[in-house]
Each structure stands twice: as C-alpha cells, then as structure tokens.
Chain A
Amino acid sequence: MAKDLPLKSRLLMSFEGKDLWDYEAIPPILEADGKGDSDYWKLTARFWLAELALNGLLEVVDEDVDNGMHFGANKSMSKYHLTEYGLQAIDSMLR
C-alpha cells in the first residue's frame, strides 16, 4: 500500500469487492502493523467495524457466534458488505 493510511481506513478498504467476516478482515490489517497478538487492538478493530456499519459505510449481512477460534468463545461475529456510500468514501478520501 503506497500511502500510510489509518488502520480503520485500511480495514474499510479490505471490503472492496468481497464480503468478509470480522475475523477474516481484522487479522491481516493488524498483523501488517505488528499488532496481531493484541486483544486490545482486536477489540478496537471490532469497534471500528461497528462504527463503519453505524455510519452506513458497511452493512451487516450475516451473524454468528465464535466457538473460541477467533475473538473468544461466545463472542458475536458479523459479516460485512461494503455499501455504495462506503465505496464513495474510499474513492474520494483514500485514493
């Protein structure tokens, strides 16, 4: 990635062209920044996804419960889809 974008911006861009579960989208972004093992940053990234969904840049298309493989047993997980508004934000602000 050419520009050193904020992590939340990079997370949003990872949804371009594909729907992803939070446990699929978050680890690559955090690992690339050396934060892959941090529970704090995993929680922060899940919070970012919730914000992006609330603000209409992403939409939740599926939900499930973690069996302990990703964020911890009995945590909810969501699958997100990039909206048209989200794509506009990427085009106008992040390229």
Chain B
Amino acid sequence: MTELTAEKKAIISKEKKARVKWGFIWAILTAVMWGIGYVPLQTIWYIEPLSSGYGFEDPNTGYLVGSYLDAFVQAMMFGLILTVVWAGATGKYREWKRVITNRKILKWLFLGALCGGPMAIFGTALATGYIGATFAASVSLLSCVVGALVGRMFNHEKFSMKAIIGIIVIVVGGVVILDPAVMIEDIMHPSGDGNTVLGYLGALMSVIGWGVEGNLSVRALNITDADASLPVRFFIEFVFWCIFMLPLLLCIVGPDKFFDCMSQTFTSGPFLFWMAMAALSLGFCYAAQYKAFPLIGVGRTLSLCNLYVPVSMIALYVFLGVPLSIMLVIGSIIAIAGTFIMYWEKGSDDGGA
C-alpha cells in the first residue's frame, strides 16, 4: 500500500467530494426529467389519433390499439433519438456497433428490452391511458420490490434487515396507491367507456417488467458503456416491435385497419412531437442515472431518482391541471420512504468512485 501524506489524503478526499456533488446533480436531474417526462406521455392522450381512439367504433378497442402503438412509437423514438443524439454526442458510435454485434452481450440487453418494452412500457401506456399518468408513475415504485425479489431468486442476493423493512414499507405504500376499495369496485363494476381493469393489468405489467428488466440488463451494462448499450437496448426493442409486435397487430385488426392506424400515427405532427419530447426527457434519464451510479453509489442514486413521482405529480398538475389524489400522494410518500430505507447507504462521502 502506498503511504499517503496528509496533503495527498486531502487531495483524494477533495476529489471524492467533487464526484459526490456531480453524482447528486446527475441523480436530481434524472428525477426532474423523469417526472416531467410524464407530461408528454399524458398529453398524447388528449390529441389525435389517441383522443378519438383511432376511429374504432368500440372505444375500448381504440384505447387498446392506441396504447399498443403508443408503446411502439416510444420504442422507435427512444431507439432513434438515443442512438443519434446521445450516442452521437458522446462519441460512442463505435461502442454502439461493438455492443450490438456481440451476441453474448446483446442477448441480455434483448431479454431486458422484452421485459422493459412490450411488457413495462406497454403496461405503463395502458395504465396512463385507462387510469392516469400520476397513477402510472406512482405504481411503478413497486418495481423496486419485484427487482429485489427477482435478484434474490436468480442472483442469490441476500436481504439485509434494512432491505426487508424497506420492502414492507414500499408494499404498504403500494397498497395505499392502489386504494384496494376503489380497485375492487373498478374491477367488479368496470365503467363502460374506459375499462380500468386493463389499466390495473397494465400497472402490473409495468411493475413486473421493470423489476425483471433491471436484473437482466445489468449483466450487459456492467461490462459496457451505458452511453452505447442503452441506445442499443432501445434500438433492439424497436426492431422487435417491427418484426413481431406490429405483424401481430396486423393479424388482430386486419390489414385495412392496421394501415389506417399507422397512417394516422405517422401523419399526426403533434403526436410525434410529444413522443419525441418524451424520448428526450425519459431517454435522458436512463443515461443520467448511469452517470450517477458510480459517483454516489447505486443505492443513493435509486433513492433520489424515485423522487420523480412527486415531480411528475407537480408537473402534471401545473402543465395539464391533473388533480392530485390524496391517496396517491400519501402512498407515494410512504413508498419513497421505503426505497430510502431499502437502498440508502450509510453516509460515507466517498461515493463509489
């Protein structure tokens, strides 16, 4: 071991503190951009073609197809914008090519993308469309619990007492968010024009999808640059939508309606604009979160990033006038407290780096 003088120790300590400061900046930026990202996701439901349910006679079919195409366009925008803007701006095109051409690395990103995309993002689109963006944002907090349980099952990660208490608190928060009395009433007596059962199903898909995705993608992200591998993850999700999910929709609704829906999607300027805004804000979050991880540690980053929920509630209230539900607010506060109990490391100031 190198003998460090007091002067050298002071220099190392100062540099670590600077890293911690930047880690907090990245994590707070993630929370803010993530929360604001729910505004464009909600806005698209107020404009054509989603507002009219793609012209389907049955509004439920229209909402369902709308959620499906919403998730597809998200994958497309995220994949293209993150690849062109983020990987390009950070000079990582060659790294992007190296990631996408390496079969063993790509396998884990693809499996993660399946859980994160067609499952979680489609689920979030359903939850947003059928129930609302504040609910969709809040209920996603439960993915921490699924992630921890999956990590324990497949990676044999051990739970500390702190983690167990945190999980219990998050679950209590989740119960308040879901508001069981209202949920049971919605499921037993679904209203005619907006089938909330599909919204709850979407919420379940998003919670499981994101919880599992983290455990799969992390294997590839550990050994690659996130500026390259995250754009690859979204790009292959887009490719999967093109070669599997869209043909599936074509078979379900028939060629005439399918091409009509695609035409409505890609000729709506406002829709594409707001989806691009969502991709810029939410896509940036993914990249920013990975900047914060080594600077302040995974636990503190995840805890701080979960502050996206109150940010989304405030942003949706300010920009779109979405009323705040007291149950969502209370449930989110409890669940966020749970994530802090679960993840927050004891107050060292040295970060991970």
A interface residues (Cβ-Cβ under 8 A, vs B): 3-9, 12, 33, 40, 44, 47-48, 50-55, 57, 61-65, 74-76, 89, 92-94
Contacts and interface: CB of A to CB of B under 8 A. Distances in A.
A95 B91 CA distance: 26
Interface string B268-301: 0000000000000000000000100111011000
B102 interface: yes
A23 B94 CA distance: 23
Interface string B30-67: 00000000000000000000000000000000000000
Interface residues of B, number: 36
Contact of A8 (B2, B223, B293, B298): B223
Residues of B contacting A: mostly: helix
B15 interface: yes
A48 B216 CA distance: 20
Interface in B214-249: 218-220, 222-225, 228-229
B181 interface: no
A3 B102 contact: yes
6 contacts: A6-B95, A9-B105, A12-B223, A47-B353, A48-B225, A65-B4
B177 interface: no
B294 A50 contact: yes
Contacts of A61: 1
Given A50-B295, A55-B298, A93-B104, 5 more contacts: A51-B293, A51-B294, A54-B353, A63-B12, A65-B4
Contacts of B102: 3-6
Contacts of B220: 93
B294 A63 contact: no
